[in-house]
Amino acid sequence: MFDFIPVCEPYLAGNEKKYVNDCLETGWISSTGKYVKAFEEQFARYCGVKYAVCVCNGTVALHLALIAMGIGKDDEVIIPDFTMIASAFSVCYAGAKPVFVDAEKETWNVDVSKIEEKITSRTKAIMPVSIFGHPCEMDTINALAKKYKLLVLEDAAESHGAEYKGKKTGNLADITAFSFFANKNVTTGEGGMVVTNDEALYKKTLYYKNLCFPLEGPRNYVHRNIGFNYRMTNIQAAIGLAQTEKADNYKVMRIRNAGIYQSRLKNIPGIILQQTQKDVVNVHWMNTIVIDELEYGHNRDELMEYLKTKNIETRLLFVGMHKQPSLEDYGCCMKGNYTVTEWLTKNGLYLPSASNLSEEKIQYICEQIMNFQKK
């Protein structure tokens, strides 16, 4: 048996230490420092986009993108019901209302066939979330946005380097937000990035990120709008630069790990995997399975308990936005049909998914899942 196998841990195998030590030795530890610019440039190059603005986490990256898009009071933003709570909260921070759309049964992304019925005269934007590293059906989403004159903000917190029809995340929407939390494919501990090809959105992002200090002219301490301090430190950016230099390695590792999981798990009765569509590169942020209790012979909670005794950590999946008391109190519409999200929440779990997880450990995990199945 292996020692405790966590669901995720950061993999810091490049220049992280060297760059961070450079920050400490030179005293450049605030948000002014060469690594901030270097990280933004490297990350923009990695995504193949014109502009990148780093911020202190992924949640504020979403908020800042919404503010740059001009989203505010009385506006509605369409988001997936099955997502991390930050997608919804960021819309609330902007003073707007998140409107939920159920997940789709194969990719677990937003069901694009159910978006149009949620569009009203107040709708201003659609926020697709590339769940677990799988980009959404962006052609359909962008066509709807064009038809109804909406903006598209991709929440790509889980999908650094993912591709849709040959295009990388960052190029699939008007503006895109990334997270660099410790468990994400590229990490700075805490951190985020807003990327876009639109110069006007870029300038607004820069402006609101730094307390609405004027982007040009003298610093006269006169502020025309209410801004935010969402700056990232040079130390975080130093880690981010080192991580981005190796981002393609981490991507390959996560895809390889997912492949091993899939080949071992696909023949176990009652184990359901995320289905990757043909025209995408899924970067597999989290290896997730859904349990069909009748076929597997145990329910999800029983499997999680069993894996715990084998030193394997697992986690529950997101609870749908339509079940969040905070969002109900905020005034969101909680009614509707969210059966796919509810199915995922009830029967799904994350398996260990760190980039540097060894093949032996993945095989061990899969064997335990196989052994526990009731023949």
Ligand X SMILES: *Cc1c(COP(=O)(O)O)cnc(C)c1O
Positions in the binding site for ligand X (CB under 6 A): 57-59, 83-84, 86-87, 129, 155, 157-158, 179, 181, 192
Report which residue's Cβ sits closest to ligand X.
58
Nearest to 102 by CA among 75, 131, 76: 131
| Closer CB to ligand X, 20 or 55, in the complex | 55
Closer residue to ligand X in complex, CB, 188/196: 188
Do 141 and 112 form a contact (C-beta atoms < 8 A)? Answer: yes
Any residues with CB less than 8 A from the CB of 39 and at least 6 apart, and which? 54, 232, 237, 238, 240, 241, 244
| DSSP string over 225-287 | S---B-PPPHHHHHHHHHHHHTHHHHHHHHHHHHHHHHHHHTTSTTEEEPPPPTTEE---SSE
Among residues 86 and 238, whose Cβ is nearest to ligand X? Answer: 86
**Least spacing, CB of residue 193 vs ligand X, in Å:** 10
CB of 129 or CB of 317, closer to ligand X? 129
Q: What angle do CA 225, 206, 40 make, to 5 degrees?
A: 165
Smaller CB separation from ligand X, 184 or 300 = 184
Residues 246 and 286: their CA atoms lie apart, in Å, by 19
CB of 192 to ligand X, least distance (A): 5
Least separation, in Å, of the C-beta of 199 and ligand X?
A: 25
Cβ at position 324, least distance to ligand X in Å: 14
57 or 369: CB nearest ligand X: 57
Name which of 187 and 347 has its Cβ closer to ligand X.
Answer: 187
Q: How far is CA 125 from CA 96, 114, 195, 263, 366, in A?
A: 10, 15, 17, 39, 41
CA gap 347, 344 in Å, rounded: 5
Q: How far is the CB of 132 from ligand X (least distance, A)?
A: 9
- Angle at which helices 234-245 and 247-265 cross, to 10°: 60
**Residue 66 CB, nearest distance to ligand X (Å)?**
13
For residue 355, the minimal CB distance to ligand X (Å) is 16
* Structure-derived torsion over alpha carbons of residues 281, 285, 291, 296, reported in degrees to the nearest 10: 80
Closest separation between CB of residue 207 and ligand X, Å? 21
Residue 98 or 270 with smaller CB distance to ligand X? 98
Tokens of 284: 């597999």
